[in-house]
A and B are shown apart, each in its own frame.
Chain A
Amino acid sequence: SQQGEEDPQALSIQEGENATMNCSYKTSINNLQWYRQNSGRGLVHLILIRSNEREKHSGRLRVTLDTSKKSSSLLITASRAADTASYFCATVSNTGGFKTIFGAGTRLFVKA
């Protein structure tokens, strides 16, 4: 079963708007990462946030982490058509070696 679950499953917005995606997970983690995937290709790493961090920024991306609620959010500001992709959160468990578990993803469509 998936560790992370993204919400919403799909999101359609206009260029220039902000897009927010949420991720919930079940067990304690070492860190949480967000990835982007363009139509069936490999995933591209966007940002990593450690369990002792609450917020992190990278360009137009802002990630928050609430370990008490076991949830994270990814905000993309001023979205562009090129942001159209699937976004996945991935949790890295801090028990027994590395098993990076991905959620089902949020499909973002940015209309020009």
Chain B
Amino acid sequence: KAGVTQTPRYLIKTRGQQVTLSCSPISGHRSVSWYQQTPGQGLQFLFEYFSETQRNKGNFPGRFSGRQFSNSRSEMNVSTLELGDSALYLCASSKTIEGGRGSTEAFFGQGTRLTVV
């Protein structure tokens, strides 16, 4: 079956602009999480969505937002881009057990590499 698809793969934006990244999870997976990866900070959790609801949020400013659609596809948006937002943004989907009692492994997309100039 198809894996997690992230688009676009690469993006160059200018400071102050906004950007929207897309993630299509594996069919049947209802949980989608987003991560930011930078050489200095490692993998930082952004947020997690389940059934169109944000269940958890990491420690990022309000410029970072996301949403999930009824088909489980997710988007994340970063407004007023800063140079420090340059990173690899990874999306992961998982088949979370209903009721939140345990989660299975996460399947990652290849990521979107965002460069802010």
- Residues on A lying within 8 angstroms of B by beta carbon are 2, 30-31, 33, 35, 40-45, 48, 50, 88, 90, 92, 94, 96-105
Contacts and interface: CB of A to CB of B under 8 A. Distances in A.
Interface stretch (B14-22, B63-71, B78-86, B101-109): B101-109
18 contacts: A2-B42, A31-B103, A33-B105, A40-B111, A40-B113, A41-B110, A42-B109, A43-B92, A43-B106, A45-B106, A48-B104, A92-B102, A92-B103, A98-B56, A100-B103, A102-B42, A102-B45, A105-B42
Interface range, B side? 20 to 34
Contacts of B100: 97-98
Nearest to A104: B42
A42 B96 CA distance: 20
B88 A97 contact: no
A74 to B, nearest CB: 15
State the main secondary structure of chain B at its contact with A.
strand
State the main secondary structure of chain A at its contact with B.
strand
Contacts of B113: 40
